A = this chain, B = another copy of it.
């Protein structure tokens, strides 16, 4: 990195150990969010935090890799908070709210998000993969809480996990396209993607069918799901070709 992305702090501020630790992680997070990990050095972090390089090493003896993992762990906790939306209203609206927050996170952590999920990154290890996987599990768990499913069977589990992977892939494509489509459009499509995958799964699995019928009962007439079904039928109908 040629220049620091934020102006160096004018003077060294005395912070408590906890505060300094948090400040270094927050600084690292900001840098990793906007630059690929290989372009961020420990010197960059020290400079942006307004401290010396030895001080950074005192907090993170494992150097850049340790700092990266700490920043990732902190981002993972932020991300998990995205999924905690109030348990009220139609499920499709709750999912849309969680996706809004998730896409805002993706938007602001673009570079780091891409490097992490694309694979082959210099900082990727079994530990970073485990952190990412724990976020996926938390996301799946949160969806199950909203659907009031305590023990998902293999079909519902697979539908949910593959949808979460599809959300990640869609986010990467969105970033790759320089976010040309509005986040709200992507969000709406991802909600419909979820409903569609659950619907075909419901055709094969009683638990998914029961869960989906319960969810359907919460959807208002003319709401997201109704609109989706109408639009899809209209697009597929013979008269649509005219």
Which A residues lie at the B interface, using CB under 8 A? Answer: 118-120, 124-130, 132, 154-155, 157-158, 161-166, 168-170, 173, 177, 180-181, 188-189, 192-193, 195-197, 199-204, 208-210, 212-213, 216, 228, 231-232, 234-236, 238, 240-241
Contact B202 A199 (CB under 8 A): no
A50 to chain B, nearest CB (A): 33
Most chain-B Cβ atoms within 10 A of its Cβ — which of A127, A188, A232? A232
* A interface secondary structure, majority: helix
**9 contacts across the A-B interface (CB closer than 8 A):** A119-B119, A120-B127, A154-B180, A162-B170, A192-B200, A200-B228, A203-B232, A209-B240, A213-B236
Total copies of this chain within the assembly: 2
Knowing A128-B120, A163-B166, A209-B240, say if A203 contacts B228 (CB, 8 Å).
yes
List of B residues within 8 angstroms of A158 by Cβ: 170, 173, 189
How far is A120 from B162 in the complex, measured between Cα atoms in Å?
A: 20
